[in-house]
Amino acid sequence: MTMDEAIAWIQRQLGFRRALASEIQTSLQQAIIRIELDATLSRPRFLVQEYSDGAFVTTAGTRTVAIPTGFLQEAELDGGLYIYDSTADDPYIELTKAEPAYVRGAFTESEQPTHYGIQGANLIFGGIPDAAYDLRWFAYFKDNSAITGGETNLWLTHRPFLIIGEAGVHIASAARSPSLDYFSQLLKAERQALEATVVVDQEADSSASMGGDD
């Protein structure tokens, strides 16, 4: 679903009040931000993304790298932090996660890192990087950049009606629209559907990790 399509859906429920188009767009964008930061809602798998950036590299002689903007949390089964070596047959070299104190204490030499930890807003590496290593991180990242018109994002692609419900509740409440009950019920149903999907994914992961059914 695109932003325009989401706006049109809400407009239909409000009685085609086209004058609200810009307000609806803003509300949809804000709804995505609220949903992503909602600690009571499980993270959907589609937010697990590979983060790479020209600035996401280590610095020789420096143990830390800032955690990228947009990071939400690590992914247990789908995730991992890697050094990326484009010259290797398998360019992804996985790093082992450990407690920051262990990383700092056990790895004091200048070398290619094999371990990492998370401390505050930084990644901590061990050993101390001896060169600039490109990094790749498979983790949960936000996807709330401002989109307009025919553009879409992960939320509008995978869970559009969760976002429509969240935005619609705020719009209908502010406008004192009779559509408030519709959007409230939609939001409730979509939150439950997301949680159910996450549970199914977790059960599938658990089964796979144990070798599946014999």
Can you tell me the mean pLDDT for 119-139?
97
Distant-in-sequence, close-in-space partners of 139: CB < 8 Å, separation ≥ 6: 48, 49, 51, 71, 72, 73, 74, 75, 79, 81
Residue 199, SS3? helix
The C-alpha atoms of residue 98 and residue 118 are separated, in whole angstroms, by: 8
pLDDT tens, position by position, 27-49: 999 999 999 999 999 999 999 99
Q: What is the pLDDT of residue 18?
A: 63
Residue 35, SS3? helix
The C-alpha atoms of residue 2 and residue 45 are separated, in whole angstroms, by: 20
Residue 51, SS3? strand
Partners of 115 in the β-ladder: 96, 126
Q: What is the pLDDT of residue 125?
A: 98
Q: Is the pTM of this model over 0.85?
A: yes
> Would you say how long the chain is, in residues?
214
Q: What is the pLDDT of residue 160?
A: 97
Q: What is the pLDDT of residue 214?
A: 47
Q: Give the closest residue to 170 by CA, choosing from 70, 20, 43, 44.
A: 20
pLDDT tens, position by position, 56-86: 999 999 999 999 999 999 998 889 999 999 9
Answer positive or negative: Cα dihedral of 149, 153, 159, 164: negative
